Structure 1
Amino acid sequence: MADLHRVDDPADPRLADYRDLRDVELRKHLEAEHGLFLAEGEKVVRRAVEAGFTPRSFLMAPRWVDGLADVLEGADAPCYVLPESRAEEVTGFHVHRGALASFERKPLPSVEEVLATARSVLVLEDIVDHTNVGAIFRSGAAPGFDAVLLAPRCGDPLYRRSIKVGMGAVFTMPRTRLPDWYAALPALSAAGFTTVALTTADDSTPIEDAVAGVERLAPVLGSEGHGLSPRWEQSADRRANIPMRAGIDSLNVAAASAVACYIAARR
């Protein structure tokens, strides 16, 4: 069982994972084999443990200890118990849900490993808002997508905000980084996937038509500002839109992903 340690001093060096590695610093550990990430909230902490991530430590207010007693029972990591009023002094942000945990990252699999048994994968290009990244993982996990592929400059799915918004979907959805941005979509096509770019381009067709009858599908989503790059838009096998009323040109990328995933799953 995790050893419980009562802590009163926010400057205690044992809390370094939570104080010295705030979210800005976590980006420097992006997908690093020996990096770490923070999970916030009882459900998310529990899901990270259930997904096989190794906890380094736990940090929580006294009232959250009982709720996570079973998780702590099976963990070989210290649990630091800190008064709720002092938690923000350590982390630099308001801890809404009382419990945090620091986990070791796992090495990312290769693209080939991720695609080996996949039928439906989401492909993200340069989506940098971590709220959107988390929401897209959740949108893909809900209807049963198999994996997510991220362009090199896409936001970190294990950023605290991404994990929280996605309710831990990133823990169970296989994912990896695409090593070659330029050739990414042609490589997917060569691997047997039909890539479908979500776009408002004039030659796009309604998404229901674009995904109909496709066996191995890869919807492609672009950044929050300008959408997909010309390279990715043109190198996709098909271009698709989400039909909407006049005067509304597009949806937020997270909302678009939810609609696209639902329609794609029903194909």
Structure 2
Amino acid sequence: MLEYLTDADDPRLSDYTRLRDVELRKSIEAERGLFLAEGEKVIRRAIGAGFPIRSVLTTRRWLASLEDVLGDATVYVVSDEIMSGIAGFQVHRGALASMERLPLPAVDTLLKGATRLLVLEDLVDHSNVGAIFRSAAALGVDGVVLSPRCADPLYRRAVKVSMGAVFSIPYARMDDWFEGLARLRDAGFQTLALTPDQTVTPLDRVPPADRVALLLGAEGDGLSSHWLAEADLAVCIPMSAAAMATGVDSLNVVAAAAIACHGLMRTAAG
């Protein structure tokens, strides 16, 4: 159903307003049980993953590119000026969709069919979370477990950076940070704590194991001392001697995650 709107303050557009206000968006999305998908490709992936559409906001220029997947969804069509004014930025490929969230699986449910997991502790940067999900999906990781304070993978920025990969890889959120790793061990997972410390075991020298969970900490601070102590083994990505000599002793968390995901698949192959 198409509705042509000419007023940026129209209450029907309330799902889309003030997208740059992160704290406001967190409260709105939690309250309404929604998330936003930006751009044709991401919207298609969200629909393909089974997320129900609340509504779509687009311009005349981009309407035709989505018509085949929108069905009878409510579509608000506005001018380019109104679109930019509502969002506060140039919308990628001219379309936003407000989608209904689906219930997250319990951590125990996610663990049942998995052999290779990433576990993210307190990553609060949405771009980093989205990029890590993209690497995990591309490199065959079975799922992602989030600590209670980890950023929301369905926040608009995370969804966009992941190119919709957050829809294709299952994830769950811990309800108990302190005892969370114990549940992984009880399920038969070897827990590997990734650290920049070059004195620990290199990731490529870890013996193969049937079930492995790789722990990643926030950019800068890294993993907490509690999780480092609780993990079965601390591992690192070896830095070259030349890099170390110039003070480059670590990678950012996104690059490290990509390399580590590839390493997890190596251990899976044995």
Fold shared, TM-score > 0.5 on shorter chain: yes
Matching residue of 1:222: 217
Which of residues 10, 14, 20 is equivalent to 2:12?
A: 14
For each residue in 1:206-228, what CA deviation from the matched residue of structure 2 results, as whole angstroms up to 9, or x when unmatched? 00112x31111100000112100
Matching residue of 1:241: 236
1:205 aligns with 2:201: yes
**Contact 2:198–2:236 (CA<8 Å) still a contact in 1?**
no
2:213 and 2:250 map into 1 onto residues whose CA distance is 20
Deviation at 1:174, TM superposition (A): 0.7
Deviation at 1:143, TM superposition (A): 1.1
**Contact 2:35–2:156 (CA<8 Å) still a contact in 1?**
yes
After superposition, residues 145-160 of structure 1 pair within 5 angstroms as 145-160=141-156
1:27 aligns with 2:23: no
SS in 2 for 1:219: strand
Measured at CA, do residues 93 and 24 of structure 1 come closer, stay the same or move farther in structure 2, by a change above 3 Å?
A: farther
For each residue in 1:130-168, what CA deviation from the matched residue of structure 2 results, as whole angstroms up to 9, or x when unmatched? 000000000100011111000011111001000000011
- Of residues 200-209 and 225-234 in structure 1, the stretch that sits farther from structure 2 once superposed is 200-209
1:82 aligns with 2:95: no
1:202 and 1:136 map into 2 onto residues whose CA distance is 22
Give the gaps of 5 or more residues in structure 2. none
1:84 and 1:263 map into 2 onto residues whose CA distance is 45
Matching residue of 1:96: 92
Matching residue of 1:262: 262
**Contact 2:115–2:212 (CA<8 Å) still a contact in 1?**
yes
Matching residue of 2:128: 132
**Contact 1:33–1:105 (CA<8 Å) still a contact in 2?**
no
Measured at CA, do residues 173 and 257 of structure 1 come closer, stay the same or move farther in structure 2, by a change above 3 Å?
A: same
Which of residues 226, 231, 249 is equivalent to 2:226?
A: 231
2:217 and 2:150 map into 1 onto residues whose CA distance is 10
Deviation at 1:33, TM superposition (A): 8.6
For each residue in 1:16-63, what CA deviation from the matched residue of structure 2 results, as whole angstroms up to 9, or x when unmatched? 110167543231256x59510000000000000000000100001111
2:250 and 2:96 map into 1 onto residues whose CA distance is 36
Measured at CA, do residues 237 and 109 of structure 1 come closer, stay the same or move farther in structure 2, by a change above 3 Å?
A: same
- Of residues 183-192 and 146-155 in structure 1, the stretch that sits farther from structure 2 once superposed is 183-192
TM-score where L is the length of structure 1: 0.93
Identity of aligned residues (%): 53
SS in 2 for 1:112: helix
After superposition, residues 166-205 of structure 1 pair within 5 angstroms as 166-201=162-197, 203-205=199-201
Measured at CA, do residues 174 and 67 of structure 1 come closer, stay the same or move farther in structure 2, by a change above 3 Å?
A: same
The code of the aligned residue for 1:6 comes to Y
Matching residue of 2:59: 61
Report the count of equivalent residues: 261
2:31 and 2:113 map into 1 onto residues whose CA distance is 24
Deviation at 1:172, TM superposition (A): 1.4
SS in 2 for 1:266: helix
2:263 and 2:92 map into 1 onto residues whose CA distance is 34
TM-score where L is the length of structure 2: 0.92
1:36 aligns with 2:31: no
